[in-house]
Homo-oligomer: A and B are copies of this chain.
Amino acid sequence: MTQKTNLRHRVTIADIALRAGVSKGAVSYALNGRPGISEVTRQRILKIADDIGWYPNSAARALSGARAGACGLVLARPARTLAFETFFMELIAGIETELSSRSVGLTLQVVHDLEAEMAVYRRWWAERRVDGVLVVDPRLEDPRVELIEQLGLPAVIIGGPEGIGSLSAVWSDDAGAVVDVVRYLARLGHERIARVAGVPEFRSTEVRTEAYLATMAELSLPPRVVTTDFMAESGARVTRQLLADPLPPTAIIYDSEVLAVAGLGAAHEMGLSVPRDVSLVAWDDSTYCQVVHPPLTAVRRDIPAMGSHGASALLALIDDGVITRTGEARGQLMTRGTTARPPHTPVASSRGTSSGSV
């Protein structure tokens, strides 16, 4: 009986109006906290709505010019890369805390490339499926920015550095953290510090490489950068290549955690001892960094915070048209078991001492 009623007939504001003996319009005003309804009637309507279990139909609400009540996130990395990047899951968790507290949904789509990502933006916006989007992995030449501006689609770029075009943005101070890491290693006495970077098309890769090069130059140390496609195999391969060099680096900074874990595995596989023979630093901390042996020294960013700030900025943009540009706190270097003095280094080399001033 009850079952059948539930299945057959959705509860609408018309039902509430009928029971309350008022018009649909009055019910709508009451439910939306708008003026024009006496407090006693409003309470009566709210009680009836609660009693008969009314929920607004999201489609009807969206149709009458209001919000879709959802934000979108497109992930355009290959699925294989996504799976082991804990970054995205942490980011999503952070986004959710903000969105769900405001009863806004998150619509997710995984695609293969930028073209497909842009097609999704077009479709979502044309269908009014989302009110705005969060954009990750900003690129050097990013065609998404132009499209989004042209569409008038509210968007927040996550990952910076800095904003692009006229869009809202949330980013972390990667350059600063890179400087910290390089100086820390130099202070330990390292001179041959290599950087294993991610894909060069990403802005985050470039800004980190530039900060690395600048700091190395400042310390008069020889730079060495190799790029990867963020895949673990690639991280292991370049680590093997670097360490097989006649003059191998004594420290390696990786651009992701999975690259670092793969690098650690590769070093062990070559019979090297970490950190005795080589020091390793991961970018982005995670459980994996902490449980491998030895635990990885890593740059820890508050990724959930970046997600929730991004979501918050997006809602502000959607609701009030406010463009926000927020730099997050600089990543913290968590020194653990994979960094130590370089092998065969005098306790105080001339360079080590001079770099100790930073």
Tell me the A residues contacting B by CB distance below 8 Å: 3, 6-7, 10, 53, 55-63, 68-70, 79-80, 82-86, 88-90, 92-94, 96-97, 100, 105-111, 123, 126-129, 150-152, 231-233, 235-236, 258, 261-262, 264-266, 268-269, 286-288, 290-293, 295, 304
Contacts and interface: CB of A to CB of B under 8 A. Distances in A.
Contact of A62 (B59, B110, B231): B59
Nearest to A3: B150
**Nearest 3 Cβ contacts at the A-B interface:** A55-B126, A59-B62, A79-B93
Given A59-B128, A82-B89, A109-B105, A261 B288 contact: yes
A113 B3 CA distance: 26
Nearest to A100: B109
A100 B90 contact: no
B70 A59 contact: no
A288 B86 CA distance: 12
Nearest to A106: B108
A127 B57 contact: yes
Contact of A79 (B90, B127, B268): B90
A57 B128 contact: yes
A61 B232 CA distance: 44
B269 A84 contact: no
Contacts of A293: 264-266, 268-269
B108 A92 contact: yes
11 contacts: A57-B63, A63-B63, A79-B90, A79-B97, A80-B287, A88-B89, A96-B110, A105-B107, A105-B109, A258-B291, A266-B291
B126 A53 contact: yes
Contacts of A59: 58-63, 68, 128
B287 A232 contact: yes
A113 to B, nearest CB: 13
Nearest to A69: B129
A129 B105 contact: yes
B110 A107 contact: no
A88 B85 CA distance: 12
Contact of A56 (B57, B90, B93, B127): B127
A132 to B, nearest CB: 15
A108 B96 contact: yes
B287 A83 contact: yes
A268 B107 CA distance: 42
A199 B108 CA distance: 28
A232 to B, nearest CB: 5
Given A60-B63, A70-B107, A79-B97, 13 more contacts: A3-B152, A6-B152, A56-B127, A59-B61, A82-B89, A83-B89, A106-B107, A258-B287, A258-B291, A261-B291, A265-B293, A268-B293, A269-B293
